Amino acid sequence: MTKHYFNKSITSLLSAFIFFTFCNAQTNTPPPTDKLSELKASLTGHPKLIKTEGSNEYDNVDCGIQDKNGNIWFGTTGEGVYKYDGKLFTQFTKKDGLKSNYVSSILEDKAGNIWFGTSEGICRFEGKNIIPVTINFMIRPILNDNYYYTEWSTKNTVWSIMQDKSGKIWFGTGDGVYCYNGLNFTRFLYNDTVINKDSLKLKLVSDMLEDKNGNIWFASGMPPGNEGFCRFDGKMIESFKPKKEGWIRNVIESKSGNLLLATRHFGVWSYDGKSFNDYSEPKELVKGSLSAILEDKAGDLWIASDYGNNIGDTLGGLWHSNTSVTNATEKTFAKISNREVFFMLEDKDNNIWFGTRGMGLYKYDRKTLVKFSE
């Protein structure tokens, strides 16, 4: 395995030497500084999600969070980020400092900073500015294997972000997983203390989770990921591939303590720490269409499908589980929408938000479905 070492002391001396040489040669020129993208005071809010960047019918609302102040942030695959304050949507794009208008992951850290994972790397919103955050090129792999990066997983794409209980932030990128301790980035698998028994690369991780026992789980995404459901117990990382399933779309920890997985080819699975089993799901679900799962505060399961017109809209959409009136252990599902769904979020008021193909955004208050997009 190739190692990349970085000597901070030597680098600091070199930096100081270059700085003073530069200053002595051109005393009237200030040293270079990082450019912060000042957000425009004229950013205008709209009551609906307005498209301005030319996204097409295949783009979607792909991710989102609700921050500590109650604002909801939505990431899209072509229109950047929208912030919803309960009344108006404000859009942030490359013009405002984003590295790309394709945003596939969002996280609010413990300090209240908002992190965006884009197709061109990481950005952070600190209340007034969106700033680029760069992973040092010296710890990134030098590869000649064209298969390692693909059209779907470029080197800089950030598919997932997670902060663990210690405060460390994990980034799942197109060339592996990186950890940020508040000062420096490290490449997770470039660590002699990690036992990598399955020679995993983690080059496309669609979701990450720290469970109640402190294990870090990686849901390996579409090829070139396809490494299954991977667990790091603090010492060793290993992959689980029941039924040879390598593509896991997302993972949640249920109130029961079990993990629930959205698999690409086999529907919903549960994992109790010992075995993987089929879990309750709509009978109408085409297993290859499962895009996301969510367990709400009441313990009900929501299941999303991204199937649409190519097979028939009636097969896609969003389902909500209910307990059967005849059997307390049986789950039945009510269909909420026929749209092709890619993302779900429960807000503090128990509303369910979901994003669809064609940049659709909807809110369901358990009674009424309201559209918040053009």
Instruction: Give the model confidence (pLDDT) of 250-272 as tens digits.
Output: 999 999 999 999 999 999 999 99
Strands 37-38 and 129-133: antiparallel
Put the strands of the sheet holding 158-163 in their side by side order.
158-163, 169-173, 176-180, 185-187
Measured between alpha carbons, how far is residue 21 from residues 17, 32, 261, 373 in Å? 6, 14, 57, 55
**Residue 286's pLDDT is what?**
86
**Residue 24's pLDDT is what?**
37
The single residue listed with the structure tokens 């399961």 is 301
CA atoms of 261 and 264, how far apart (whole Å): 10
CA atoms of 190 and 201, how far apart (whole Å): 10
CA atoms of 230 and 193, how far apart (whole Å): 17
**Residue 5's pLDDT is what?**
37
CA atoms of 63 and 139, how far apart (whole Å): 28
- In 10 A of CB 177, how many CB atoms? 26
Percent of the chain's residues with pLDDT above 70: 82
pTM (2 d.p.): 0.86
CATH number belonging to the domain at 41-371, selected among 2.130.10.10, 3.30.365.10, 3.40.50.720, 3.30.390.30:
2.130.10.10
pLDDT tens for the 374 residues of the chain, in order: 433 433 434 344 334 333 333 333 333 333 333 445 555 544 778 999 999 999 999 999 999 999 999 999 999 999 999 999 999 999 999 999 999 999 999 999 999 999 999 999 999 998 888 999 999 989 988 766 666 667 667 889 999 999 999 999 999 999 899 999 999 999 999 998 999 999 999 989 999 999 999 999 999 999 889 999 999 999 999 999 999 999 999 999 999 999 999 999 999 999 999 999 999 899 888 888 999 999 999 999 999 998 865 555 566 799 999 765 566 566 789 999 989 999 999 999 999 999 999 999 999 999 999 999 98
**Residue 146's pLDDT is what?**
60
**Residue 32's pLDDT is what?**
32
Domain locations along the chain: 41-371
